[in-house]
Amino acid sequence: MRLDVVTIFPEYLEPLNVSLVGKARARGQLDVRVHDLRHWTYDRHSTVDDTPYGGGPGMVMKTEPWGDALDSAIADGYEAGAREPVLVVPTPSGRPFTQEVAVALARQPWLIFTPARYEGIDRRVMDEYATRMPVHEVSIGDYVLAGGEAAVLVITEAVARLLPGVLGNVESHQDDSFAPGAMENLLEGPVYTKPPTWRGHPVPDVLTSGHHGKIARWRRDEALRRTARNRPDLIERCDPVAFDRKDREVLSILGWAPEPDGRFWRRPRDVEE
Ligand code: SAM
């Protein structure tokens, strides 16, 4: 996969050299190119922003540097043999970045990121590139960062670990929170490793029983408990066919009951408790 990042803070992307993403780059699974937006400014002050049309506070990133920088990154990518670019625009006003979006982006051969600063990028830049390629505006959460570089790091790490061969153990992400399949819409439960007892805290017996069926069931129960406690909205959204008889028992103990449409809702009695 090829990744291009255009930014006014190339050094902010240094973490892409370490750990999982760094190793994927070293192995040639990820080809990351970071471009300094200011390279495509032509005035003495390397200006990338200007006052907003219509007035108001803050500054807006200008069309020209972005257009020239993106054209150059795109031309360079095509020359290197990359195909089918997708523009990923981090913005708090984008669609939520979820595991599902990460899976979809991991299937793309080429992602181009446009982390912005100030009040964001002049809208015409996204409109222009939308005529040439898919454009995904994504938000990593309901809060506002000072810039999009941290969002690029988040998205890149979530995407890179899904690429074939990047994680040592291919099964590692199958049990993850939000992983498609049996655990879809459930958070992963707690995990443990040696020693068996630490400062008086033992590991749950079932995990050392060697009984795979019981361990799988315990993990599922814990996932249900954690999701019901931390993200009840995920349980409410779950397709009820995903719940087996034992899931339903656990949910019932936790105060959840099926509505006539089959979806689970927490009983009001328990909400008041
Ligand atoms: N005025 C903008 C708004 O309210 O939508 C906020 C601009 S923010 C200060 C500057 C840049 O940080 C954004 O253009 C985007 O690149 C990035 N950013 C901030 N919060 C983000 C979030 N939650 N998800 C993704 N990118 C974000």
Residue 268 above 70 pLDDT? no
**Residue-level pLDDT at 176:** 80
CB within 8 A of 238, min separation 6: which ones?
Answer: 185, 186, 263, 264
What is the band of 266 on the pLDDT scale with cuts at 50, 70, 90?
A: confident
Residue 208 above 80 pLDDT? yes
Pocket, ligand 1, Cβ cutoff 6 A: 90-93, 115-117, 119-120, 139-141, 143-148, 151
What is the band of 273 on the pLDDT scale with cuts at 50, 70, 90?
A: very low
- Asked if residue 100 lies in contact with residue 51, where contact means CB atoms within 8 angstroms, the answer is no
Burial of 203 (0-12, 13-18, 19+ CB in 10 A): middle
Structure tokens at 37: 């937006």
**Residue-level pLDDT at 265:** 86
- How many other C-beta atoms lie within 10 A of the C-beta of residue 102? 21
Residue 246 phi, psi dihedral angles, 5° rounding: -70, -40
Residue 73 above 80 pLDDT? yes
- Compute the mean pLDDT over every residue in the chain, rounded to the nearest whole number: 94
- Asked if residue 35 lies in contact with residue 73, where contact means CB atoms within 8 angstroms, the answer is yes
pLDDT tens digits along 160-180: 999 998 887 766 777 788 877
Any idea which residue has 């630490």 for tokens?
198
Q: Which residue has the higher pLDDT, 45 or 179?
A: 45
Residue 72 phi, psi dihedral angles, 5° rounding: -65, -45
CA of 218 to the centre of ligand 1 (A): 40
- Quick one: which atom of ligand 1 is closest to the CA of 121? 14
Closest CA to 153 of 31, 6, 25, 12: 12
Coil vs helix vs strand at 227: helix
Rounded to a whole number of angstroms, the CA Rg of the chain reads: 23
- Quick one: which atom of ligand 1 is closest to the CA of 141? 23
